[in-house]
Amino acid sequence: MAGIAVYLMYRYGPNLVLWLLLGFAWCYALTVLNDRVVAHPGTSWVVSAAVLTGCLGLLLLAGPGPLRRLRWRPLVYAGALTYPFYLVHQSLGVPVTRGILENVPGIGLLASIAVGLTLCMLLAAALERFVDRKLGRVFRHRLTAALHADEPRRESRELSVTVRESGASGERSRADLVGTGVSGSGRP
């Protein structure tokens, strides 16, 4: 939720509602963080909260902050990988990492996390290249067309209602409307 609030700040500008949403999302994340830290012995809540807050601070710098105009190509590509990475990390990366730890215990925690992260990054890159780039254009085009396809019909209905209302009072005749391309039937 915090990431969505930061994106909305980037897109539409910061305002009080978005700052409150961000604050509530940050507080909620800190309360949930305790449950996750307890599940991993030897992990400090304070360190985890500092890392979480630091990442949120980086988002604020990059979103609505002073780094928003930074368009370095590797950073733009990394940003494009964030959503596909989000989609695969929990369902594939975590089970792979746990499976490595259970089946090859000698490899260690950090190495198994590195393998899981590498797998997730490769899958995210493949999804971005073969799904997001190709289907993203098609979906954007079709959704935009679908959103704008209803506009003429809506205008036509509004004109039709206006014509019917004015026709009942006798103010405009059908001959008056012929030049405008509007008929009394509501069709342009």
d(CA 158, CA 111): 65
CA 160: distance to chain centroid? 39
Model-wide pTM > 0.75: no
What pLDDT is attached to residue 180? 47
What pLDDT is attached to residue 40? 75
Examine the pLDDT at 183 and tell me if it is beyond 60: no
d(CA 61, CA 67): 6
d(CA 136, CA 108): 39
What pLDDT is attached to residue 125? 94
